[in-house]
């Protein structure tokens, strides 16, 4: 609420009170998202077109939209990776994985019970990479938490700093991918991803419901809004960034026309290989047929690569980027089908 009170772009107090009450009555719930989605700001005229938290959960918890056995494939990043590789879908190369203190590389299982062993194993894995970097992420992690980059230059420092986590938790170990150079110009420290939401209609046709792009800030190695990054709308037909970038309210609620670190203008930037990314999501959706899924897609110099897919696709970000999801004809179709 500190961000709200300090926001100079607020509507007048009486208008905010009236709209928040009206939003709550209309949605039959507490008007939490009136504030979380910046609907109190002067530039938002259509506050009724935004999903409430109740409507959001009605979609992602609907047994007509989301199926537990598919969600289980998406939740476990290792299983998800294996399915993608089996179906020939482009992903970051999997070098191995750890299960607590066990390291599995190919069919070799070894115990990594000491700092010295970790150094030896990671050094050997690094020798087989083309980028000289490893990307580790928790197998059951969410929101970019716990991810780390290990390179030859920071190997000792990384092992010392993360030794406890590396010995006690479970990680996917990937070769760090190269990001497209034009995206690197905006933010080079993180792999900045497209969040592409697919929707499968009642005729089994796959649609791209909406697209946004996320960017990291500072030296953060992840682009998640939960780790301080921001998101911006993407035109789902042209692949062009539109409007301002927005940081999550809980992280400061900043609004950006340029990336705050590189000062590169955001609006009008054309995402490379955008149509190929759309085609990849539509193809991949058939192997993970929850009717609504949020895909994180990176763009490399040679095309799109799947980072992960989310059974809980953070529709509040897409709602804000779209400018009110209830205007979307396919969202109207979804809400009608689930009787909301």
Q: Tens digit of pLDDT for each residue in 208-246?
A: 999 999 999 998 888 887 778 999 999 999 999 998 999
**For 195, phi and psi rounded to 5 degrees?**
-105, 110
Look-up of token digits 């399915």: 83
Burial of 250 (0-12, 13-18, 19+ CB in 10 A): exposed
What is the average per-residue pLDDT within 18-44?
95
Instruction: State how far the Cα of 233 lies from the Cα of 221, in Å rounded to an integer.
Output: 21
What is the average per-residue pLDDT within 193-207?
97
Instruction: State how far the Cα of 123 lies from the Cα of 45, in Å rounded to an integer.
Output: 56
| Predicted local confidence at residue 305, as pLDDT | 98
What value, to the nearest 5°, has the Cα angle with vertex 81 and ends 130 and 202?
A: 135
| Predicted local confidence at residue 78, as pLDDT | 96
User: Rg of the Cα trace of the chain?
Assistant: 21
State the pLDDT confidence band at 3, using cuts at 50, 70 and 90.
confident
Question: pTM (2 decimals)?
Answer: 0.94
**For 75, phi and psi rounded to 5 degrees?**
-65, -40
Burial of 290 (0-12, 13-18, 19+ CB in 10 A): buried
**For 236, phi and psi rounded to 5 degrees?**
-75, -10
CB 236 within 8 A of CB 208: yes
């Amino acid at each position: 609420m500190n961000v709200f009170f300090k926001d100079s772009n607020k509507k007048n107090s009486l208008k905010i009170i009236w709209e928040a009450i009206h939003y709550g009555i209309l949605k039959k719930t507490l008007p939490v998202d009136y504030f979380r989605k910046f609907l109190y700001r002067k530039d938002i005229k259509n506050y009724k077109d935004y999903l409430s938290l109740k409507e959001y959960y009605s979609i992602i918890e609907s047994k007509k939209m989301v199926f537990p056995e598919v969600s289980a494939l998406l939740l476990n990043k290792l299983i998800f990776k294996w399915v993608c590789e089996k179906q020939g879908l482009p992903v970051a190369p999997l070098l191995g994985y750890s299960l607590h203190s066990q390291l599995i590389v190919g069919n070799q299982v070894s115990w990594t019970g000491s700092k010295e062993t970790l150094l030896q194993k990671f050094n050997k894995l690094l020798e087989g990479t083309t980028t000289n970097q490893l990307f580790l992420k928790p197998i059951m992690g969410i929101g970019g938490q716990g991810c780390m980059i290990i390179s030859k230059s920071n190997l000792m420092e990384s092992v010392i700093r993360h030794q406890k986590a590396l010995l006690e938790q479970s990680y996917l170990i990937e070769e760090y991918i190269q990001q497209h150079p034009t995206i690197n110009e905006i933010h080079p420290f993180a792999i900045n991803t497209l969040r592409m939401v697919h929707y499968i209609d009642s005729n089994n046709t796959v649609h791209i419901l909406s697209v946004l792009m996320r960017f990291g800030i500072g030296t953060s190695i992840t682009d998640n809004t939960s780790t301080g990054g921001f998101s911006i709308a993407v035109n789902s037909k042209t692949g062009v960034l539109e409007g301002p970038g927005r940081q999550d309210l809980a992280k400061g609620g900043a609004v950006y026309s340029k990336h705050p670190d590189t000062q590169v203008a955001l609006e009008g930037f054309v995402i490379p290989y955008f149509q190929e990314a759309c085609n990849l999501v539509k193809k991949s959706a058939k192997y993970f047929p929850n009717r609504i899924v949020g895909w994180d897609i990176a763009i490399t110099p040679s095309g799109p690569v799947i980072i992960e897919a989310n059974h809980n696709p953070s529709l509040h970000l897409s709602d804000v980027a779209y400018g009110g999801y209830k205007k979307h004809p396919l969202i109207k179709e979804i809400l009608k089908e689930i009787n909301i």
